Structure 1
Amino acid sequence: MKELNTQEFDTHVLENEGIVLVDFSATWCGPCKMQKPILEELESEVDFDIYSVDVDRSPELAGRYNVNAVPSMMLFKKGTLKNTLVGFQAKEVILEEVEKLK
């Protein structure tokens, strides 16, 4: 799962024509550590892009999207934010939310 910085975010997420899931997380966050393997597993199974943003390394991105809790997963479609999932999420919940965007 590629970690994006501010410059890469616009290219990989906002200019992407498909569905993109962005995981806003932090290295010190317990639920984030539980979420990461689920997202890595998903990445090999799905046809949409999954990226991560470390809120400590990219605070301007966290601020831009009002990330107040981690993990926060944001779903974008054609560069537009469509949904936000806050807190640890089961794989099935993430897939259900993505299906709503297709």
Structure 2
Amino acid sequence: MTKVDSRVVKKSISLSRVVSVWADGLAAKKGFGTNFSAYIADLIRRDKEREDELQLSRIFGVSSSKKSKAADAIVGVVQQAAREKTFVSRPR
């Protein structure tokens, strides 16, 4: 199999953030792994979770750079409710 240098890949094409992280992972491994689809799926899942948390922070008026324990607790409650498919109203 061919080894990939992420610097060459990044100079050749414009990469999304997820693909960029994947390319960096390839370079760190010094070659191809055996289960790239699972690796990419995990990167996409983590990226989606970060986007969801940022969106929740915006909804509750919490700056993502200034998250507090209370904000983390709010996000946790909302995420748990979403997993359980229950409705949580916004506090007034």
**Does TM, scored on the shorter chain, surpass 0.5?**
no
Relative contact order: is structure 1 or structure 2 higher (C-alpha 8 Å, sep ≥ 6)?
1
Bigger Cα Rg:
2
